[in-house]
Structure 1
Amino acid sequence: MQPSIPRPTVIAAILVGMTALTLSGLLLPALWYEVFDRRDAGYLLLALTGVGAVLALYARLLWLNLMRRTAPGHRFGLAAIALICWAMPPLLGTGQGWGNALLVPAGLIAVVLPVREAIAATAAATALTPVYAVLLGLPALTVLYEVTGIPLAAFSGYVTVWLFHVVQELREARAELARSAVGEERLRFARDLHDVLGHSLQAVALRAEVAERFLERDDGRVRKELTEIQAMARDAVRDVREVVRGYRATNLGTELDGMSAVLRAAGMRCERPVVPPSLPAHVHEPLGRVAREAATNVLRHSSATWCEITVAADAGDVRVEIVNDGAARRISGDAGSGLAGLAERITAAGGAFSAGPGGDGTFRVTATVPMVPVPAEGEA
């Protein structure tokens, strides 16, 4: 089972916390020396103040840039971090690990500055740091460590923020696809409803006008027009019910193909299902509606990464099974009413319906409709 994906703010908080922990580890040897070896109150206060200010300002700048709340003033924050880090080695001594402080600002260069400026600043820092380190009297291995560490830290900071923004944009794109799928379905329903009711209501209105004209002159003509109006109204009601129930041009293969295409567009792994040929006409509507509702639920109420659709037919019934791995990450919503409506429709067709977690992190929807249609109530 794949782990659930936290919200962007949670991921950002984790990244900031891990970065602060990494920087603390980089400066830990120097702090250890100040606390347990030198034990000078003045030096210790200076070290704790400098490290605390650097970590707080670094975490603040990283958080703001992860949240896309960048500002030109962040350059001054980066400059302040660089000034403090480059001032600590000569003030506190270079022999006990304070030379590592020279690396700290590098991780923010490509985060705070635009790409071109970040490249120039990284190159300048890579060139100036060894010169400064030699002037401070740092060992040759430490100088080599600083030279290789600065571009690596800058690149690491850039990639971290970039990947975070990519993941956030993918989440937003997926949500937009879900809204688009729902909106397309509403437009399709609105078009069908307009096509059905527009002509029928116009015809009813014209017949009513005709009946009104003959109201005082020809009772027989009025009765004929009223009879026609009644027939048109009944036809319109029947057509509306067909639209609502999805009877019009419903094909199970088409619905499943559309479902798999939408899920793949949303970034899920979903193969196009194989539909047995020559299925009875009466199974297409209820099973097609199951496909539509399942696709909507997967998009809107879970964060699944794959979906598997299988269709099987034998002499007794036709069975559709839709499984996805989003059970552990299902989002609360109104999915329950849709599934309850599907259960009622499948039961009315003489079939069986089930939906729920599979116990292994999957969510399974299964619908079965008999090959032989069940007679409607009142039929012999």
Structure 2
Amino acid sequence: MIDFNSELRGAAETDVISIAVIEADRAVSRKFGPLLEWLPALGADCCNSMPLAGMEAELASLAQGRRRNIALPGLRGLSLGLSEPVTVVIIWIEDKLHYLLIAMPDFSARQVELLLGSERRARRLAEQQLEAASIEVRIASLARERMRLARDLHDTLVHSIVGLLMQIRLSRHFLETDPSALADCLAAAEEAAASGLARARRAIDGLRLTKDADEVLGLELIVAEFARRIEVEIEVDVDRALRDDVARHGSTIDRIVTEALRNIERHSAAGRVWIRATHDRNSGVLEIEIRDDGRGFDATSLPAFHYGLIGMKEIAMLAGGVCSIDSGPGEGTSVRLSLPIKRSPGPTPTIPLR
């Protein structure tokens, strides 16, 4: 029999390990410590316990010297009374003719569990971060859609109603001063109302689409339409080398130039308008400037409910660019649009065969 007054017993008393002695006939002779409470009662066959069931041949080979030890790592379970993983090592004591069972906490299994727990926590954190990012994307998408709705309302209903209001005021003026011109003025008001209705319907149809389906008019058509409505000297300077870059930002440039020209028509009383497109080779930026010599305004103090200037800046921002407005009373107005150059991929170079 083993001397339990040895260092092994001291370790068992502090619950560092548990020890049991099994006789050659597999009868439990001694057991000491909580990690081996799952062994059957003293005198019973140790193979009647769940972990050792069916191990008669292994124990016999151990006693015959064909094996050095038997290791059972990671034992745990409520039926064994083990909440933490335990490793059991069985060795044969030749001079005592009995088996010695030593049970100790399975630190490697604990480490694996800690790693798995950390991995699970990291996965949950990643899932939470992905969910938060998805929410941010949805919020940004909703914000962008709200900005688009505001622009469409401003570009259709607001402009149409303002134009119609101007014709109504002009009709009232002619009613008192020149009734013969009233018919033409009413016809113009009717045309403005019909045009506004058509544009509102197009905007509603556009809202039903999954993507923006903006029609690109082009600078030439926009300037020609502007010149038809107002008598003003217009100078357009677009380098031929930049026409492709202008076309690639067609929708953005169309919206901003159209809004700038509308403001010139309604507010500036300008006699001359300049539209110029240049390329900053150092920064790779396309620059569009719309300038007039009109009455100007205080750009630092915008009137309430005038969203056209704000809309131009938002449109430029969504295209990755910047729109700045420089004006002062009696100094005219300059709208500058800076957009990144969008280069289309060139042809794939060919390697000559030798």
- TM-score, structure 2 length as denominator? 0.36
Task: Name the structure where helix makes up a greater proportion of residues.
Answer: 1
Task: Name the structure where strand makes up a greater proportion of residues.
Answer: 2
Q: Which has the larger radius of gyration?
A: 2
- TM-score, structure 1 length as denominator? 0.34
